[in-house]
């Protein structure tokens, strides 16, 4: 296979030793083809060979495609070494970095809301470090936890917050017989998104090692 081509494959039996007849055909009648686009399966002869298939290839073509993309097919192709020289190898597949989440809230507003509503218990920035309740972790410490996003996005569901927090259009009002024990925290969804954006942009505290919950 020296040139890019359109191929039809006939696979009589899918056994350990299988003979495959490859025939050059018109693109409109091909079931599988190797070329510059598609899924990379091997490289050699100056290019990376990509596999593509019809939406509904025949059973034989589908089995061959599965073989080419599998471990056995890869080992068979790379083991082809006429005169002791390997012609084909496995392609280098670049890892796609996971896109960082985008927080659309207003981080500046989130800072203001955090200082107004949360600094009574938490240190929310450098100026409020050490303020609040000594046993309550600061925002920077919480930001260093692997599940920080879940903690902040749903903080109002985590104790002790449900007893004194209302999120407009989300939580129910306090029952008359069980009012908030302190001045309640009340946030809109916009303010909650803003607070999440603020925390996302802050530098996490260096915890040295993962926190252990006891």
Q: Indicate the residue among 89, 119, 144 that finishes a domain.
A: 89
Same domain, 112 and 152: yes
Same domain, 118 and 195: yes
Tell me the pLDDT tens digit for each residue of 65-102: 888 888 888 888 888 888 888 888 888 766 656 666 78
Same domain, 71 and 125: no
> Is residue 115 in a domain?
yes
Same domain, 197 and 111: yes
> Is residue 114 in a domain?
yes
> Is residue 66 in a domain?
yes
Tell me the pLDDT tens digit for each residue of 148-204: 999 999 999 999 999 999 999 999 999 999 999 999 999 999 999 999 999 999 999
Residue ranges making up the domain that contains 157:
107-201
Average pLDDT over the chain reads 82
The strand pairing partners of 7, in sequence order, are: 24, 32
Please state the pTM of the whole predicted model. Answer: 0.53
> Is residue 49 in a domain?
yes
pLDDT at position 90 is: 85
Q: How far is it, in rounded angstroms, from Cα 55 to Cα 7? A: 15
Q: How far is it, in rounded angstroms, from Cα 31 to Cα 7? A: 7
Query: H helices within the chain, ranges in order?
Result: 59-69, 71-78, 107-117, 139-143, 148-153, 189-201
> Is residue 211 in a domain?
no
Q: Which residue has the higher pLDDT, 19 or 29?
A: 29
Strand order in the sheet with 21-24: 21-24, 5-10, 32-35, 47-53, 39-44, 88-89
Q: How far is it, in rounded angstroms, from Cα 75 to Cα 68? A: 10
Same domain, 133 and 187: yes
Q: How far is it, in rounded angstroms, from Cα 123 to Cα 201? A: 16
Same domain, 11 and 81: yes
């Amino acid at each position: 296979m020296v040139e890019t081509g359109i191929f039809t494959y006939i696979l009589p039996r899918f056994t350990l030793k299988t003979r495959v007849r490859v025939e050059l055909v018109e693109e409109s009648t091909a079931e599988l083809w190797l070329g510059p686009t598609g899924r990379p399966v091997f490289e050699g002869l100056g290019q990376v060979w990509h596999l593509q298939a019809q939406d509904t290839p025949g059973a034989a073509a589908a089995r061959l495609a599965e073989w080419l993309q599998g471990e056995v097919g890869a080992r068979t192709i790379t083991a082809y070494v006429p005169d002791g020289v390997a012609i084909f190898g496995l392609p280098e597949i670049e890892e796609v970095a996971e896109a960082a989440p985008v927080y659309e809230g207003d981080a500046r507003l989130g800072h203001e809301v955090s200082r107004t509503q949360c600094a009574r218990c938490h240190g929310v920035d450098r100026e409020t470090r050490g303020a609040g309740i000594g046993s309550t972790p600061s925002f920077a410490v919480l930001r260093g936890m692997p599940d920080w996003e879940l903690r902040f996005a749903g903080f109002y569901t985590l104790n002790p917050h449900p007893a004194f927090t209302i999120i407009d259009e989300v939580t129910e009002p306090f029952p008359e017989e069980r009012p908030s024990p302190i001045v309640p925290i009340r946030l809109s969804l916009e303010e909650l998104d803003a607070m999440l954006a603020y925390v996302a942009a802050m530098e996490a505290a260096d915890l040295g090692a993962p926190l252990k919950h006891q």
